[in-house]
Amino acid sequence: MITETDLKHLRRCVELAETALEKGDEPFGSVLVSASGEVLFEDHNHNGGGDSTQHPEFAIARWAANNMPPEERSKATVYTSGEHCPMCSAAHGKVGLGKIVYASSSEQLAGWMSELGAKPGPVYSLPIGEVIRDAQVEGPVLELAEQIRKLQIRSFERKQ
């Protein structure tokens, strides 16, 4: 179940996604929250420079590995505007982070891109649960997914 607190963090992820788009990056944003509810780290996508591995979920996994003991990582929650891609799911799983709450799913993103006639990328779109063993996952959240769809369309149109 998505709580008001979850929504607050997810709205911040959408804001970060919008910031990314404004900076010339792809519209994705993510927030790492401790078990006690403290926001520990946040980031947005930095693909604009040409490095397609600069995803915020990956940055969070690295930050967590360098700054949190394993026990704390397992109890932390990662909020994100778009469901983790397989690369970020793997990073999340490998550093032992806890729950993931996403506003829009990879399946939704693939559907939006297909409607726009976009060519699929080189990496398969897989749900988090097909990459991380025993993943704890929540999402998508309808009201926010619509905002993200609009950001993704703007991002796609800019690349044309």
Tokens 């929540």 belong to which residue?
A: 138
Tokens for 66?
A: 């360098």
The CA-atom distances, in angstroms, between 46 and each of 39, 125, 129 are: 20, 20, 25
Question: Do the Cβ atoms of 14 and 81 come closer than 8 Å?
Answer: yes
> Any contact of residue 151 with Zn ion (CB under 5 A)?
no
> Any contact of residue 55 with Zn ion (CB under 5 A)?
yes
Tokens 């909020």 belong to which residue?
A: 79
Which of 87-95, 105-113, 118-126, 143-151 is the region at the interface with Zn ion (rule: CB under 5 A)? 87-95
Nearer to Zn ion, 28 or 73 (CB): 28
> Any contact of residue 11 with Zn ion (CB under 5 A)?
no
> Which among 5, 95, 97, 85 is positioned nearest to 45, based on CA atoms?
85
Which of 9-17, 55-63, 102-110, 134-142 is the region at the interface with Zn ion (rule: CB under 5 A)? 55-63
> Any contact of residue 73 with Zn ion (CB under 5 A)?
no
Which of 43-51, 67-75, 79-87, 113-121 is the region at the interface with Zn ion (rule: CB under 5 A)? 79-87
> Any contact of residue 88 with Zn ion (CB under 5 A)?
yes
> Any contact of residue 85 with Zn ion (CB under 5 A)?
yes
Question: Do the Cβ atoms of 70 and 61 come closer than 8 Å?
Answer: no
Question: Where along the sequence are the contacts to Zn ion (CB under 5 A)?
Answer: 55, 85, 87-88
